[in-house]
Amino acid sequence: MKNKFTENSVKYAIILFMRLSIFIKEMHVLNYLTHNYHVTRFLKSTPNIYALLQGVGIEVAFIGRSNAGKSSAINTLSNQKSLARTSKNPGSTRLINQFEVTDGARLIDLPGYGYTLAPKPRKNQWLRELGEYLKNSQCLKGIVLLMDIRHPLQGLDQQIIQWASDFERPLILLLTKADKLTYTASRDQVNIVRKAMLPILGDAPIEAFSSLKKLGIDKLTERLNMWFSGLML
Ligand SMILES: Nc1nc2c(ncn2[C@@H]2O[C@H](COP(=O)(O)OP(=O)(O)OP(=O)(O)O)[C@@H](O)[C@H]2O)c(=O)[nH]1
Ligand SMILES: [Mg+2]
């Protein structure tokens, strides 16, 4: 009787061990599923958020104030000069531009908020649409929130962060144009933002980023790979 019990326990332990090792192996493979962002291509533009809400697949949205460097970040990530339209004048991205990394994996370049010259009703409507998207999208697996490293966490940035937290959207914060500051000053800014965001975002990644110097691309790529692998849901 005792022998039978021991035999069964050993059998179950072996099965459990085998299942666990298969699970760990799968996690390992998924973790290292990398995408080639250099082959990213333009997919389509849409004038409002509602077309996005009907999509399928996985998407990651680049969100931030006008002129924060969203389109530039997509160009640097994809190693293409003018995949996304950039401009030194704020408000250069008016439409919602979708880029396809691979079948079913999209980067979404959103128009910026806080553009002072845009009419107020338009600004309010855009913010409402953004809120709806963050709340209701089935495809949105991650947010890349970009803020100029010299002026992070402005009112609307904080609103996006609050929504991301409320709607449980994973987030990476990129502090852009880090080439404008010294290494020490940019590290200090990262620490300030990290400390301020700790109660809301916990240990969400916050990185100094520069499209110009290609700084922070590896961290961004790592996070995108996780989201596109469906790991960090
Ligand atoms: N020095 C520096 N300038 C940058 C960097 N990234 C973007 N810029 C500049 O900032 C300006 C705005 O960049 P965009 O990428 O168009 O910004 P955006 O967030 O897409 O702006 P909207 O489409 O208006 O919302 C352009 O003149 C870019 O060349 C960077 O890393 N370093
Ligand atoms: Mg843009």
106 CB under 6 A from ligand 1? Answer: no
C-alpha Rg value of the chain to the nearest Å: 21
Mean pLDDT over the full length of the chain: 88
Q: Whose CA is nearest to atom 21 of ligand 1?
A: 67
Specify the pLDDT at position 16: 77
User: What whole-number percentage of the chain has pLDDT above 90?
Assistant: 65
Under a CB-based contact definition with an 8 Å cutoff, are residues 217 and 230 in contact?
no
Q: Which residue has the tokens 């609050």?
A: 162
Selected residue with higher pLDDT from 148 and 49: 148
Residue 129 has pLDDT above 50, yes or no: yes
CA–centroid distance, residue 88 to ligand 1 (Å): 6
CA–centroid distance, residue 76 to ligand 2 (Å): 13
Residue ranges per structural domain of the chain:
1-32, 36-228
Instruction: Say how far residue 50 (Cα) sits from the centre of its chain.
Output: 20
Rounded distance between C-alpha atoms, residue 191 and residue 200, angstroms: 15
Residue 121 has pLDDT above 50, yes or no: yes
Query: What pairing do the DSSP bridges indicate for beta strands 140-148 and 58-64?
Result: parallel
Rounded distance between C-alpha atoms, residue 77 and residue 80, angstroms: 8
Mean pLDDT for the stretch of residues 223-227: 94
97 CB under 6 A from ligand 1? Answer: no
| Strand ranges (E), 72-221 | 96-102, 105-109, 140-148, 171-176, 206-208
**pTM reported for the whole predicted model:** 0.86
In this predicted model, what pLDDT tens digit does every residue of 190-212 receive, in sequence order? 999 999 999 999 989 999 999 99
Rounded distance between C-alpha atoms, residue 175 and residue 185, angstroms: 12
User: What whole-number percentage of the chain has pLDDT above 70?
Assistant: 89
In this predicted model, what pLDDT tens digit does every residue of 152-201 receive, in sequence order? 999 999 999 999 999 999 999 999 999 999 999 999 999 999 999 999 99
Residue 232 has pLDDT above 60, yes or no: no
| Helix axes of 155-166 and 183-201: crossing angle, nearest 10 degrees | 40
Q: How far apart are the first and last CA of the chain?
A: 47
Under a CB-based contact definition with an 8 Å cutoff, are residues 108 and 59 in contact?
yes
Rounded distance between C-alpha atoms, residue 38 and residue 45, angstroms: 20
Rounded distance between C-alpha atoms, residue 46 and residue 50, angstroms: 9
Q: 111 in helix, strand or coil? A: coil
HSE-CB at 90 with a 13 A cutoff on CA atoms is 13
**Residue range 36-228 in CATH 3.40.50.300:** yes
| Strand ranges (E), 16-95 | 41-46, 58-64
Rounded distance between C-alpha atoms, residue 143 and residue 60, angstroms: 6
Q: Whose CA is nearest to atom 16 of ligand 1?
A: 86
Give Cα separations from 139 to 127, 136, 192, 219, 222 (angstroms). Answer: 19, 9, 32, 22, 19
CA–centroid distance, residue 90 to ligand 1 (Å): 8
186 CB under 6 A from ligand 1? Answer: no
In this predicted model, what pLDDT tens digit does every residue of 56-98 receive, in sequence order? 999 999 999 999 999 999 999 999 999 998 888 776 677 899 9
Specify the pLDDT at position 55: 84
